[in-house]
A and B are shown apart, each in its own frame.
Chain A
Amino acid sequence: MNMSSDRFSITAEEYLAETSALFYLNDAVTQLLEHREEFLQFGIGRYFAEYFTSVKNGNHVLFREFSYVKGTAHNRASFIHIFWKCFRQIGKNRDLLTMMEYTSLLQLLCPDFPAEMVQNTAKIVLMEDAMDCPMSLSDFIYSFQIQFYYEEFLESVLVVYEDLLEGKNPNAVIVPTSTSAETISSEEADTQEGVESSVLLECIEGLCERFKHKHPPLSAIKEVLESSTRGSYYGFLMALAKHEGISQEIGALPNRSDLLIDPEMDQELERLVAQVAISPTSNSSSSAQGLKEPCRKPSPRKSLHQRKRIEMESDGSTEETDSSEN
């Protein structure tokens, strides 16, 4: 939640508008009215306390409708984080999933999650090519993060980009009789893909002013655009998705190298798996019994270890997805 430090010099209304407090209070009351019998037994005060604690902890977006999930920046970040927590295992198993499959996973968490969002994410990962190609979780999730968190901003960038492709600079004063089209075509624009990065950067700087906090940090955008002279829209988005600084700013996902590492959760999982492995044979005090005959049934615990070893042997990068850089 970005907030200007001079929050004491603005009016109360402006302060409230800058926070999403009213959005949540509104939703809390709506939920309360919808399920009043259920919540009344806890007491109203306790209900509000629980509601805001869950908002603070970020698990409030689970199973909620899409309009709520995308309602605030905090909700979006929370949803991305939950998605990662729930389906991290897919990445560990190095499974590749298609667009449709990712859509289904997202809809498990948010029933009316639109397929279009996933489609746009796939366009970033696959650079608008071979759209039915399966993707790795890490490639998908960082692109998804950019697409979902900055949706409105990216839409505006696309409009600007398309204008630039057609040869008009939205920042320039448009004189109907000018021959701006000529200047573009005179440089070998047709042979090269995309637009000039410096021009795009200029336009985006203008956009950022209008979007207040709801855009990636300008320094990161500059860094990305200054690394090449020309680029396509999806190339730009891909670079944003790979930028660790932006991901840190959103704060929903760990760094790429840590994405699949979570010893605590692994331990928990192993413990659960071990329990499952032991319990069918157990009668009274049978943990020893369970250990006596470990080879008889395929132990899921063992396979987990094997899996880990395989993972450690491979280099841990995410190159299996067909996402050529240019």
Chain B
Amino acid sequence: MAEKRRSGVAADPKSAKAESDEEFLSQAGVGALLRGALLKLVEARPEDPIGFLAEHFTNEASETESSGAGDGGDGDGGRDGDGKYQDAQEEQQLNKALWHLSSAHHSQRSAFNNNIRVAYDLLSQCGSARRVPGGVQGRLYTEMLRCVCSDSGLSETAAAPLLRHLRCHDYEVVSFELFRQAVLTCAAFSEYVRRAQCLYAAVACCPEQPAERELCDAVLNALREALDTSHGPDATRYLEASAKISPAELARAMAKTRGASREQEGPSMDMREFEDAAAALFIARVRVVN
């Protein structure tokens, strides 16, 4: 590529195409392309902007190329080959959708919402032969949520209960609002589990030994109370809930149980159990889709 740049610098008779630089750029659509890229970049603010742009442009290019190829391929071709082609295309769209979702953290809410929209549009274009009007197929939706969970580091067993709440039938069509809620829930859940793991590590005083059961129970209770804060307008609820699980409050709860039981070596609780208990608190508050 670099060599190409060097060769043929001046010799080409460019006068034949006497369009100005600006005309050329606007005709080729460079402005729109760059504007889109910059917007994405500023929205996501990735740590490695060059890698981000490389992936972004690669995605864009394969999108335009595949849409061009898709137009040609619709006409003929055997049933069998067509089906395979569909599957490959579906997987490609799924990967693209996942990539879009991963480019912004869910706390960057406007960027994240935008990306969900892009992902939704990508997935609703899938399977043109078996096209369902007006949305994403249930099968793709469930597959997508599974991928979101595993990509964000959740183990399959940890994700399974949540997915049971969120999944829908393969033949159903998923609306955007449900899609958005579900993706957001998965992203928030995986973060929640990560935090729960940190919490457990903090409760267990040294990393080799499991934490004491009583302390864990105290912390889980505090967590439950915080999640149960359900009256009043949103803003006050958030403040109240976060006050209930502030470090000082947790320390107080833990100190209280310590005070009640004097003996040193109580029964313990391992990481797995704590994590499951914390996850259950979260999942109990997720509405079942079906």
- What is the bound-complex CA distance between A67 and B58, given in angstroms? 27
- On whether the beta carbons of A50 and B1 are closer than 8 Å, the reply is yes
Given A3-B47, A24-B53, A44-B33, list of 6 further CB < 8 A pairs? A19-B41, A25-B53, A33-B24, A34-B9, A45-B60, A48-B37
11 contacts between A and B (CB under 8 A): A1-B49, A16-B41, A21-B41, A25-B53, A33-B24, A36-B17, A44-B28, A45-B64, A51-B57, A56-B51, A56-B54
Identify which of A16, A37, A52, A59 contacts B50 (C-beta below 8 A).
Answer: A52
- What is the bound-complex CA distance between A60 and B50, given in angstroms? 12
User: A54 and B42 in contact (CB under 8 A), knowing A25-B34, A45-B57, A49-B60?
Assistant: no
- What is the bound-complex CA distance between A74 and B58, given in angstroms? 21
- What is the bound-complex CA distance between A61 and B257, given in angstroms? 64
- On whether the beta carbons of B33 and A40 are closer than 8 Å, the reply is no
B54 and chain A: residue at smallest CB distance: A52
The 8 A CB mask of B38-56 against A (1 = contact, 0 = none) is 1001100101111101100
- The residues of A that contact B6 with a CB separation of less than 8 Å are 63
A40 and chain B: residue at smallest CB distance: B28
- On whether the beta carbons of A49 and B54 are closer than 8 Å, the reply is yes
Q: In the complex, how many angstroms separate the beta carbon of B78 from the nearest chain A beta carbon?
A: 29
B4 within 8 A of A: yes
- What is the bound-complex CA distance between A21 and B54, given in angstroms? 11
- On whether the beta carbons of B58 and A49 are closer than 8 Å, the reply is yes
Most buried by A among B17, B42, B45, B108: B45
B262 within 8 A of A: no
A304 within 8 A of B: no
User: A7 and B5 in contact (CB under 8 A), knowing A29-B30, A55-B50?
Assistant: no
B2 within 8 A of A: yes
**Dominant SS at the B interface?**
helix
- The residues of B that contact A52 with a CB separation of less than 8 Å are 50, 53-54, 57
B263 within 8 A of A: no
Q: In the complex, how many angstroms separate the beta carbon of B112 from the nearest chain A beta carbon?
A: 13
- The residues of A that contact B61 with a CB separation of less than 8 Å are 43, 45-46, 48-49
B3 within 8 A of A: yes
Identify which of A24, A37, A49 contacts B12 (C-beta below 8 A).
Answer: A37
**Dominant SS at the A interface?**
helix
- On whether the beta carbons of A38 and B30 are closer than 8 Å, the reply is no
- What is the bound-complex CA distance between A8 and B112, given in angstroms? 14
- On whether the beta carbons of A55 and B2 are closer than 8 Å, the reply is no
- What is the bound-complex CA distance between A21 and B57, given in angstroms? 13
A93 within 8 A of B: no
- The residues of B that contact A40 with a CB separation of less than 8 Å are 28
- On whether the beta carbons of B50 and A63 are closer than 8 Å, the reply is no
Chain B contact residue count (CB 8 A cutoff): 37
A15 within 8 A of B: yes
- What is the bound-complex CA distance between A7 and B3, given in angstroms? 36
- The residues of B that contact A45 with a CB separation of less than 8 Å are 33, 57, 60-61, 64-65
Using a CB–CB cutoff of 8 Å, the interface residues on chain A facing chain B are 1, 3, 7-8, 12, 15-16, 19-21, 24-25, 29, 31-38, 40, 43-46, 48-56, 59-60, 62-64, 74
- On whether the beta carbons of B42 and A15 are closer than 8 Å, the reply is yes
- What is the bound-complex CA distance between A43 and B69, given in angstroms? 14
B8 within 8 A of A: yes
- What is the bound-complex CA distance between A298 and B41, given in angstroms? 57
- What is the bound-complex CA distance between A8 and B42, given in angstroms? 10
- On whether the beta carbons of A64 and B2 are closer than 8 Å, the reply is yes
Q: In the complex, how many angstroms separate the beta carbon of A106 from the nearest chain B beta carbon?
A: 16
User: A8 and B58 in contact (CB under 8 A), knowing A15-B45, A33-B25, A40-B28?
Assistant: no
- On whether the beta carbons of B5 and A31 are closer than 8 Å, the reply is yes
- What is the bound-complex CA distance between A29 and B42, given in angstroms? 19
Most buried by B among A43, A52, A64: A52
User: A8 and B50 in contact (CB under 8 A), knowing A34-B9, A38-B8, A46-B61?
Assistant: no
B234-261 residues with Cβ-Cβ distance < 8 A to A are none
- The residues of B that contact A32 with a CB separation of less than 8 Å are 30
Q: What are the 4 closest A-B residue pairs judged by CB atoms, nearest first? A: A45-B61, A52-B54, A49-B57, A48-B57
- The residues of A that contact B47 with a CB separation of less than 8 Å are 3, 7
Q: In the complex, how many angstroms separate the beta carbon of B126 from the nearest chain A beta carbon?
A: 21
- The residues of A that contact B207 with a CB separation of less than 8 Å are none
- What is the bound-complex CA distance between A53 and B42, given in angstroms? 19
- What is the bound-complex CA distance between A62 and B1, given in angstroms? 10
Q: In the complex, how many angstroms separate the beta carbon of A264 from the nearest chain B beta carbon?
A: 23
Most buried by A among B38, B45, B50: B50
- The residues of B that contact A60 with a CB separation of less than 8 Å are 2
Q: In the complex, how many angstroms separate the beta carbon of B2 from the nearest chain A beta carbon?
A: 5
- What is the bound-complex CA distance between A207 and B47, given in angstroms? 26
- What is the bound-complex CA distance between A301 and B58, given in angstroms? 41
- On whether the beta carbons of B24 and A36 are closer than 8 Å, the reply is yes
- What is the bound-complex CA distance between A81 and B176, given in angstroms? 48
User: A24 and B50 in contact (CB under 8 A), knowing A44-B33, A59-B2?
Assistant: yes
- What is the bound-complex CA distance between A49 and B5, given in angstroms? 16
B177 within 8 A of A: no
- What is the bound-complex CA distance between A1 and B12, given in angstroms? 38
- On whether the beta carbons of A12 and B50 are closer than 8 Å, the reply is no
